[in-house]
Structure 1
Amino acid sequence: MSKILFVTGASAGIGAATARLGPEHGWDRVVVHYGRDRDGAEAVAAEVRETGAEAFVVGADVRDDDHIATMLLAVADLPPGPIGLVNNAGVVSPTGKLADCRPERVRQVFAVNVFGAIEVARQTVALMRKWGKGGGIVNVSSAAARLGSANQYIDYAASKGAIDTLTLGLADELAPEGIRVNAIRPGLIATDLHAKGGEPDRLERIGHTPPLGRPGSAEECAEAILWLLSDGASYVTRSILDVAGGR
């Protein structure tokens, strides 16, 4: 049966790496979601197609429930199959302290990282149930959920703490249906997230600090995600896997 890998925030970083590596792990249809970077998503889709797999590019602002519904309609138009949802879309604000976490900033972070993630999961699970083909979910959290990110972006860390809790509760709720729910918590990963947080040189300064002595790559995170979605992890649910070099 032809499986569908559905990756949100797949135009760059961990999402893009997961979409690109999907075909190597048996995913012959990949849905590449983007929020604003259509060119990046199209480039990822082109790489997927070069492997012989199918790729479908969908744009949606995950802060908007109607956008999410339209995106899921596009997925629902595909021939049914098991769905592997990678709930990855996320944003970070520039680094700052509590005084900088004004309500509008916090609302923007939570709108994507929490409210959007929950709604994407809700609508995707509804489609899984409608099709009756099964599937699984991997949420992308962050080591920030454990560390708190004091003096940097505690609002982002708090949003990822919510993702951890969502993972646990959703895993319990969906286990009787055979839908496994897990998460990864990336640490210091070489993506453009640091630049978006206003610290483009962050990895140069502290990338050596994890016990493994280096930052991780988006591909290393993708491998963990794809393992959690695979039959090799068939007895794994309600788990949050740190991909943080021991940090």
Structure 2
Amino acid sequence: MAFLDFTGQVVLVTGASSGIGAAAAVGFAEAGATVAVHYHQNEEGARHTANAVSTAGGTVSVHQGDLAGVESAGLLVDEVLAKHGRIDVLVNNAGDLVRRAAVVDVPDDEFHRIMDVNLTSVFAMSRRIVPVLRAQGGGAIVNVTSIAGRHGGGGGSVVYATSKGAVSTFTRGLAKELAPDGIRVNAISPGVIRTPFHDRHTGEEQLKAMLATIPMGRTGTPHECVGTILYLASDRMSSYVTGQLIEVNGGQLMP
């Protein structure tokens, strides 16, 4: 039996239209999983991910929702359950910086949007999935936090970093709460990964400054995050691992 074998399992990946979420969806499919691909606005990207999942041999469904609203979490989980009958792994990947700005230039509505997209979505999805996993006898939640949650973020990303720091704390606390139920909760903490996220929010000069702090001297790729996510989701590989944040950052931060 392969160590990374998700045959018969259903994996829900939020924010899977591009970047780390898309790569994770394909990685789970390659390991035998049925994958539910969630997206907010990028339907074309989500369809591209779904095609890649199918090519990898996985069964796939596509679901839309703005997870900044707590009610969307329940609708999404209900849709996936109606389609596939179960959910074994939840990957809370959806999130965004929204825009870079100094704290004094962040209006109230933008602050709340950043917190909702990155933190409320993780809370709402986790709250909804817990009864499902309990009824099934266990499961795994893998959150996607960020190196920004530890070092405060790059220029103009204080609120984003704050939201990710909260996701890290939420991961640890929820892991303690759910351990008796056989539900493991962990997180991957990516560094500078070259995704549409940085294409939207990070200029070349800022990216060069970031590269100067990375011992490996390069950005990471979404594919380089997939192995860690699959490891944390696999009972066979990480059955005694919970409440952990694994850094994937090329040596940029070694806590």
TM superposition score category, shorter chain reference: over 0.9
The 5-angstrom pairing of residues 166-185 of structure 1 reads 166-185=170-189
2-structure distance, mates of 1:78, 1:177: 25
Q: Contact 1:96/1:153 (CA < 8 Å) preserved in 2? A: yes
Distance 1:245 1:194, change over 3 A: same
Q: CA deviation at 1:68?
A: 2.0
Tell me how far apart the structure 2 counterparts of residues 70 and 82 of structure 1 sit (CA, whole Å).
14
Cα shift readout 1:11-62 (whole Å, capped 9, x = no counterpart): 00100000011122332x0000001111110110111111221001000110
Q: Which residue of 2 aligns with 1:125?
A: 130
Could you say which residue in structure 2 is the equivalent of 1:153? 157
State the distance in 2 between where 1:79 and 1:20 align.
18
- What does the per-residue CA deviation read over 1:143-175, in whole Å, with 9 as the maximum and x for residues that have no partner? 001110263210000000000010001000110
1:237 match: 242
Asked if residue 195 in structure 1 is aligned to residue 199 in structure 2, the reply is yes
CA distance in 2, matches of 1:93, 1:85: 23
Q: Deviations over 1:55-107 (max 9, x none)?
A: 01000110222322221111111444451111010011322222122222110
Gaps of 5+ in 2: 1-6
Q: Distance in 1 between matches of 2:189 and 2:57?
A: 31
Does the alignment pair 1:96 with 2:101? yes
TM-score (norm 2): 0.90
Match of 2:64 among 54, 59, 65: 59
CA deviation after TM superposition for structure 1 residue 120, in Å? 0.7
Take 1:99 and 1:235, find their aligned partners in 2: how far apart are those partners? 44
Give secondary structure in 2 for the equivalent of 1:196: helix
Aligned partner letter, 2:219: P
1:199 Cα deviation from its structure 2 partner: 2.5
Q: What is the total number of aligned residue pairs between the two structures?
A: 245
Choose which of 66, 69, 75 in structure 1 pairs with 2:74: 69
Is residue 9 from structure 1 mapped to residue 15 from structure 2 by the alignment? Answer: yes
Over the residues paired in the alignment, what is the CA RMSD in angstroms? Answer: 1.7
1:211 paired residue among 210, 215, 232: 215
